[in-house]
Amino acid sequence: MNTKDKLFKIGISTDDKCVTCAREPETIDHLFFDCCYSREVVKLVGDWLGMPLPIRDILDWRLNMRGSKVRIDMINAAVNACIYHTWRQRNTSRFEMHLLRPQKVADNIIGDVKLKLKGSMGKDDFCEQAFLNRLIGRQ
């Protein structure tokens, strides 16, 4: 099956409507790339990072990133957290009938990334240290 197949066809969902936006059929592509809910979460996280995160072609974009290892690790952590929290929120919405606001999900993602950044503090040069401190302090 390709990613265009509806999740309900593979037994993950009993309804074909997206549980986060209720507008479109729920496909993997829709959930992670086209859903207005997940797009808003990614936009908020990208705003915090000070850079837009691409919705489409995220894998190609990640493979071609340039910069220090710390910055690349931080962006990868943010992208991975967006994917994880989007899927987690989808399941919470489906099974517990509870949908967090996109801002709250973005706040959770930012909290996860800040913890990862704090774990990498002390290993970097002065410029990277200043960059990490700015991000950790940013709301």
Number of Cβ within a 10 Å radius of residue 71: 18
Helix ranges (DSSP H) in the chain: 28-29, 36-49, 58-63, 69-96, 102-119, 126-137
Q: How confident is the model at residue 81 (pLDDT cuts 50, 70, 90)?
A: very high
Looking at residue 1, its pLDDT comes to 43
Which stretch, 52-56, 72-76, 98-102, has highest mean pLDDT? Answer: 98-102
* Phi, psi dihedrals of residue 27, rounded to the nearest 5°: -120, 165
pLDDT digits (tens, 9 = 90+) for 15-58: 678 889 989 988 888 888 889 999 999 999 999 988 888 767 76
pLDDT digits (tens, 9 = 90+) for 102-127: 999 999 999 998 888 777 665 555 55
Cα–Cα distance for residue pair 27/72, rounded to 1 Å:
29
